[in-house]
Chain A
Amino acid sequence: MNVFEHPILFYLFGIIPIRDTVVMTWILMVFILVLVLLIRKAFPSLLETVLEFITAMVDDVLDVDNLNPYLPLLGTLFIFILLANLLSIVPGLKSPTSDINTALAMALIVLFAVQFYGIRQKGFWGYVKTFSDPIWLFPLEIVSQISRTLSLTLRLFGNIMSGDLIVAIIFSIIPLIVPVALMSLSLLTGVLQAYVLTILATLYIASAVEINIEDEKMKKAGFGKKLTRRKEITNGKS
Chain B
Amino acid sequence: MENLDPNTLITVITIIVAGVGIVIGTIVPAIMEGLAAGKALDGIARQPDAAPQIRTTMIISMALLETTAIYVLLVVLVLLFANPLIERFFGG
Q: Which residues of A contact B (CB under 8 A)?
A: 1, 4, 60-61, 151, 154-155, 157-159, 162, 165, 192-193, 195-196, 199-200, 203
**How many B residues have CB within 8 A of the partner chain?**
14
Cβ of B8: which chain A residues have Cβ within 8 Å of it?
none
Q: List 25 A-B contacts (CB under 8 A).
A: A1-B81, A4-B81, A60-B52, A60-B53, A60-B56, A61-B56, A151-B67, A154-B74, A155-B70, A157-B74, A158-B67, A158-B71, A158-B73, A158-B74, A159-B70, A165-B77, A192-B59, A192-B63, A193-B63, A196-B59, A196-B60, A196-B63, A199-B59, A199-B60, A200-B60
Chain B interface mostly helix, strand, loop or mixed? helix
> Is B66's beta carbon under 8 Å from chain A?
yes
Nearest-CB distance from B10 to chain A (Å)? Answer: 21
- Decide if A154 touches B63 in the complex (CB within 8 Å): no
Chain A interface mostly helix, strand, loop or mixed? helix
Q: Which residue of B lies closest to A56 (CB)?
A: B52
Bound-complex Cα distance A71 to B66 (A): 27
Bound-complex Cα distance A165 to B56 (A): 28
Q: Which residue of B lies closest to A203 (CB)?
A: B60
Bound-complex Cα distance A60 to B77 (A): 37
Bound-complex Cα distance A155 to B81 (A): 19
- Shortest beta-carbon contacts, A-B, top 10: A158-B70, A196-B63, A155-B67, A158-B74, A151-B67, A60-B56, A199-B60, A162-B73, A155-B70, A158-B73
Bound-complex Cα distance A34 to B70 (A): 34
Interface residues of B in 43-81 (CB under 8 A from A): 52-53, 56, 59-60, 63, 66-67, 70-71, 73-74, 77, 81
Nearest-CB distance from A169 to chain B (Å)? Answer: 12
Nearest-CB distance from B68 to chain A (Å)? Answer: 10
Cβ of A159: which chain B residues have Cβ within 8 Å of it?
66, 70
Q: Which residue of B lies closest to A196 (CB)?
A: B63
Cβ of A158: which chain B residues have Cβ within 8 Å of it?
67, 70-71, 73-74
